[in-house]
């Protein structure tokens, strides 16, 4: 039996499944994995920088909203606009927290993304009074239902994380 071309089972302690790689591709595989790890690190640096820029932009937009509200003498409309901007800033903050945890070696947790989705739904509900046109009751029910379902999902994920071994 010629073992030169038969794939060898390579087992990595961090992987659950065994990977079959032909011996001829070991070196290529090693360099490909190194390149992907490097590119992934670079991508997370870019994501972090983009999130930092987003914080600056939403902070600036918040102050612009406040200034416009004061100059237009429409504080209610301006307050709702500013609150919507702060909610966007809150979602960016949740993503930054998730990114910091990931860069420190933790796994990406789904609860951070559920939190962002909850913020988006809440922002939509806050901004409803400022929208032009008629709000249909079914639309409002859909957004409230989405918020309720996301809230239940968030509680379940947080509750179930107590029972999962976090290696």
Q: Per residue of the chain (167 residues), what is the pLDDT tens digit?
A: 454 555 555 445 455 566 677 877 888 888 998 999 999 989 988 998 999 999 999 999 999 988 888 888 778 888 888 899 999 999 999 999 988 888 888 888 888 899 999 999 999 888 887 777 787 889 889 999 999 999 999 999 989 888 875 55
* β-bridge mates for residue 9, sequence order: 20
- Give the phi and the psi of residue 124 in degrees, each rounded to 5: -60, -45
pTM, full prediction? 0.69
Q: Domain limits of the chain?
A: 25-161
Long-range (24+ apart) CB contacts under 8 A made by 92-99 are 92/51, 92/54, 92/55, 92/58, 93/55, 94/119, 95/51, 96/48, 96/51, 96/52, 96/55, 99/44, 99/47, 99/48, 99/51
* CA–CA distance, 142 with 125 (Å, rounded to integer): 11
Helices 110-127/137-161 angle, 10° precision = 160
């Amino acid at each position: 039996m010629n073992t030169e071309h038969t794939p060898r089972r390579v087992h990595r302690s961090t992987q659950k499944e065994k990977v079959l790689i032909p011996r001829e591709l070991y070196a290529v595989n090693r360099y490909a994995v190194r390149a992907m790890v490097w590119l992934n690190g670079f991508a997370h640096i870019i994501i972090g920088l983009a999130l930092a820029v987003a914080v600056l932009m939403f902070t600036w937009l918040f102050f612009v909203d406040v200034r416009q509200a004061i100059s237009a003498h429409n504080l209610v409309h301006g307050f709702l606009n500013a609150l919507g901007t702060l909610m966007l800033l809150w979602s960016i903050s949740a993503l930054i927290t998730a990114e910091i945890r990931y860069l420190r070696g933790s796994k990406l947790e789904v609860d951070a993304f559920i939190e962002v989705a909850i913020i988006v739904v809440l922002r939509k509900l806050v901004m409803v009074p400022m929208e032009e046109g008629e709000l249909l009751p079914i639309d409002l029910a859909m957004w409230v239902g989405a918020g309720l379902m996301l809230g239940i999902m968030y509680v379940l994920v947080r509750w179930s994380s107590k029972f999962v071994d976090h290696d």
